[in-house]
Amino acid sequence: MSELKPAIRLVDLLRLRRGGWALAFTLGAATLLAVVALLAISGWFITAAAAAGVATVALLGFDYFRPAALIRLCAIVRTAGRYGERLASHHAALGLLKDLRCRLFDALGRRAPNAARPGPGSAAAMHRLVTDIDQLDRFALSALLPWAWAGLLSLVVMGLLAWLDLTLLLAALPGLLLAWLGLPLLTLWQGSRLARRDAALAEARREALVEPLAAITPLLLWGRWGQMQREVVDRDGRCLANQERQQRLASLVGALQQGALGLAIVAVLWWGAPLLLAPEAVDSRLTAALLLAAVLALLGLGEILAPLAGSFVSLGASLAARDRLNALVAGPPGEPASSGVGVGVGVEVPSAPWSLELSGVGARLPGALNGPEEVDLTLEGGEVLCLRGPSGCGKSTLLQVLAGELAPSAGACRLNGRPLEAWRLDETIGYLPQQWDLFDMSLAANLRLGDIDASDEALWALLDELALGDWARALPRGLDTPLGEYGAAVSGGQARRIALARLLLARRPVLLLDEPLAGLDAATRARVVECLLRRQGQGLLVIASHVALEAPAVRQRQLTLDEMGRPALRPTG
């Protein structure tokens, strides 16, 4: 692929897979030509054979072998072309989705970390990435290709009418242009508006349905759950009503298209009949059989023009998805997106010593009631900071601030005396959130996402340190054992330590770990903490944990947040 841009443009959707889309268009055009030709040749053949049967003398010279062969050829091309077009278009669409995901995740990775305004939560952002990227392929499949095919076949049919007699073309032209261009273009504004509104209503419905689930217990206790249910029903009704309006618009335009084509057929018959009876018709190429072929070609065009009725709804959905994705990966207003490989610019990753300073830091996730407030601390290399406090007090929020994923609402964070945004954070900070990702690859492949050059011996050594070595050796395929989608083949504790091992292989001087010891027994916790301390050395280690770290020989500091996020800092070692 060429150099990636931070923004998505619809024209890029064709450039990314131009060969696949060209093949899909060619096969689709051949299929639709075969459909129209099959109707036209069949009508001509039946009519010409009937006329030859009436005139018994002409029957002796009537060639029925070639038309029959053409009919069979058109039927074969129609079937094979339809199958090939589906394969080609779906292959191009799936490849496009892969390219878009790579492009969007790369742009997200290069986005400046200290955004002036916080973005959506991880769940909402992931939902937007998945659904909106899937919407983008509608631009080619449902908007662009149908118009290209309709334009080509309309020109072919108009050429057939002009070849028979220019009068037939002039008679059919008003109805044909109305069905091909006039009626679909009239839906441009309304269809695009409804599609954009559908995207907004669907997102509002998802938020109304999903977000209250996290607070279901307080809502039930305070008697507010019924109100939330009514809001979900109301938003769902609005979304369904908007989708019904889209369907009605497409159905109305489709019905008017068929009516316009019907008028074109009537006009061709109205003007064609006198031409057949005129004295000069003897020298004309127009015959009753060819006139019927032209009528059937117009009739076959109805199937090709029908998708145009909903094309602008698909276009609007693609435009809405494009705008939402661009907003997701855009940096703060007035700040261009980073073009480097790493996040941040300017400061390369130095060697030790390291120090982290927080001055009056406060932060709050969008919609959250609590968050860390007025946090002041200084952490030197070789020290371990343990974040403690009840659930919901802001431990994870503070880690997001330190990782550069959330801009502080107050105060400042400095690493070695420089603001976080001045660093290449992807090369400096390793962050393990509570929601980590494992991929449907082997154990070794998941681990080597941290260090692609890590040897098998290095992987085994790290697994042993994290109390995973014996388990991994007992697997049927060892390091080559697949972990399943989202790590479904392993337990939660094993998956968390695998994600931690991957992070340790990346060797970042600053480690931020959110509940890395959850679900582990005392012996395993001790081995994991020992591994962390040994491998982190003189770097910085910040751990949010509900359990105490049993490492008395290490300079350990503890930051306890109360229920409102206010800190109390004290040294413990």
pLDDT surpassing 90 at residue 356: no
Q: Report the pLDDT value the prediction gives residue 289, as an integer from 0 to 100.
A: 87
Contacts of 137 (CB under 8 A, 6+ apart): 13, 93, 96, 97
pLDDT in tens, 410-425: 888 888 888 887 777 7
Q: Are strands 540-544 and 355-362 parallel, antiparallel or unpaired?
A: unpaired
Q: Report the pLDDT value the prediction gives residue 334, as an integer from 0 to 100.
A: 38
Q: Report the pLDDT value the prediction gives residue 279, as an integer from 0 to 100.
A: 63
The helix or strand, by DSSP H or E, that contains position 27, with its residue range, turns out to be helix 18-54
The percent of residues above 90 in pLDDT, for the chain, comes to 19
Tell me if 10-110+128-329 shares its fold with 355-571.
no
Q: Are strands 410-415 and 418-419 parallel, antiparallel or unpaired?
A: antiparallel
Q: Report the pLDDT value the prediction gives residue 322, as an integer from 0 to 100.
A: 83
Mean pLDDT for the chain? 80
- Please check whether residue 395 is in contact with residue 387, taking contact to mean a CB–CB distance below 8 angstroms: yes
User: What whole-number distance in Å separates Cα of residue 389 and Cα of residue 197?
Assistant: 43
- Please check whether residue 388 is in contact with residue 556, taking contact to mean a CB–CB distance below 8 angstroms: no
pLDDT in tens, 480-538: 888 877 667 778 778 888 888 998 988 888 888 888 888 788 888 888 888 888 888 88
Q: Report the pLDDT value the prediction gives residue 426, as an integer from 0 to 100.
A: 74
Q: Report the pLDDT value the prediction gives residue 2, as an integer from 0 to 100.
A: 39
pLDDT surpassing 90 at residue 408: no
Tell me which of 116-130, 266-280, 487-501 is least confident: 116-130
pLDDT surpassing 80 at residue 111: no
Which has more pLDDT, 554 or 541?
541
pLDDT in tens, 160-197: 999 998 999 999 999 999 999 999 888 888 888 888 88
Q: Report the pLDDT value the prediction gives residue 170, as an integer from 0 to 100.
A: 94
The helix/strand/coil state of 561 is strand
Which has more pLDDT, 510 or 49?
510
User: What whole-number distance in Å separates Cα of residue 71 and Cα of residue 68?
Assistant: 5
Q: What is the DSSP letter of 423?
A: B
Q: Is CATH 3.40.50.300 correct for 355-571?
A: yes
1.20.120.550, 1.10.3720.10, 3.20.20.120, 1.20.1560.10: CATH of 10-110+128-329: 1.20.1560.10
Tell me which of 72-76, 100-104, 288-292, 472-476 is least confident: 100-104
Q: Average pLDDT of 26-42?
A: 93
Whether pTM > 0.95 for this model: the answer is no
Domain ranges of the chain: 10-110+128-329, 355-571
